[in-house]
C-alpha cells in the first residue's frame, strides 16, 4: 500500500480552482462520497454560498445491470436551482469517465446548467469516454489493477492510498 499526500494535492486543487472560478457565481456539486467531502472543503475555502449539492449516481451507472445496487446508496440532494447555474462538479478520482457521465446525466434531471466544470483531486488516466477535467489536483499513472482510494479521518483530513483491486 502506497500513500499519497492528499492534503498537499487538495491545496493544489484549491489553488487551481480558485484561479478558474474567480469572479464567477459557482455552485458546487459533489459525487458521493469522496467528491462530496472535497466539495464541502472547497465550499468553505472558496466561500461559496449555497450548500454543496450531492449526487449518488448509483442508478445512473451504465454498469448497473452488471454490478447491481451497492448497499451504501444515498439519496441525491441539490438545494439550489440547477437551471442556468454555473456548476463545478467535484469528484475524487477520475479514471474511465463513466462516473462523470453518470453524474452529468443525473445533474440534467435537475435542470440544464449554463456551464459545468469538472474538478478532480486525482486524474489517473484510463479514459473510456471523452471526458476531461477542467481542474486537477494531481495526475498520476497507475496500472488498472491498482485502486486510488480516498478516505477521511474524524478531523476531516483527507488520505489517499494506492491499493490492489479486490476484483483484479
Residue 162 lies in a domain: no
Q: What is the CATH number of the domain that holds 78?
A: 3.40.50.2020
What the block records as the C-alpha cell of 98 is 463513466
Residue 1 lies in a domain: no
Residue 5 lies in a domain: no
Residue 159 lies in a domain: no
Encode burial over 119-158: b for 16+ CB neighbours within 10 A, e otherwise: bbbbbbeeeeeebebbbbbbebebeeebbbbbebeeeeeb
What's the pLDDT at 3?
78
What tens digit of pLDDT does each residue of 56-87 get? 998 775 654 555 555 566 789 999 999 999 99
Residue 117 lies in a domain: yes
Residue 16 lies in a domain: yes
This prediction has a pTM of: 0.91
Domain containing residue 43: 10-62+73-142
Residue 67 lies in a domain: no
Q: Structurally, how many domains does the chain consist of?
A: 1
Residue 41 lies in a domain: yes
pLDDT band at 165 (very low <50, low <70, confident <90, very high): confident
What tens digit of pLDDT does each residue of 125-148 get? 999 999 999 999 999 999 999 999
Amino acid at each position: 500500500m502506497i500513500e499519497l499526500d492528499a492534503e498537499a494535492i487538495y491545496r493544489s486543487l484549491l489553488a487551481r480552482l480558485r484561479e478558474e472560478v474567480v469572479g464567477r457565481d459557482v455552485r458546487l456539486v459533489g459525487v458521493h462520497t469522496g467528491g462530496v467531502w472535497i466539495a464541502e472543503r472547497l465550499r468553505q475555502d472558496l466561500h461559496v454560498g449555497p450548500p454543496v449539492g450531492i449526487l449518488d449516481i448509483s442508478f445512473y451507472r451504465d454498469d448497473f445491470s452488471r454490478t447491481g445496487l451497492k448497499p451504501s446508496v444515498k439519496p441525491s440532494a441539490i438545494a439550489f436551482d440547477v437551471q442556468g447555474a454555473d456548476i463545478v462538479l467535484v469528484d475524487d478520482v477520475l479514471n474511465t469517465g463513466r462516473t462523470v457521465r453518470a453524474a452529468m446525466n443525473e445533474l440534467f434531471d435537475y435542470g440544464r446548467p449554463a456551464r459545468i466544470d469538472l474538478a478532480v483531486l486525482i486524474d489517473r488516466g484510463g479514459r473510456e469516454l471523452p471526458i476531461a477535467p477542467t481542474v486537477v489536483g494531481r495526475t498520476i499513472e497507475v496500472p488498472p489493477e491498482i485502486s486510488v482510494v480516498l478516505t477521511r479521518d474524524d478531523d476531516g483530513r483527507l488520505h489517499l492510498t494506492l491499493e490492489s483491486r479486490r476484483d483484479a
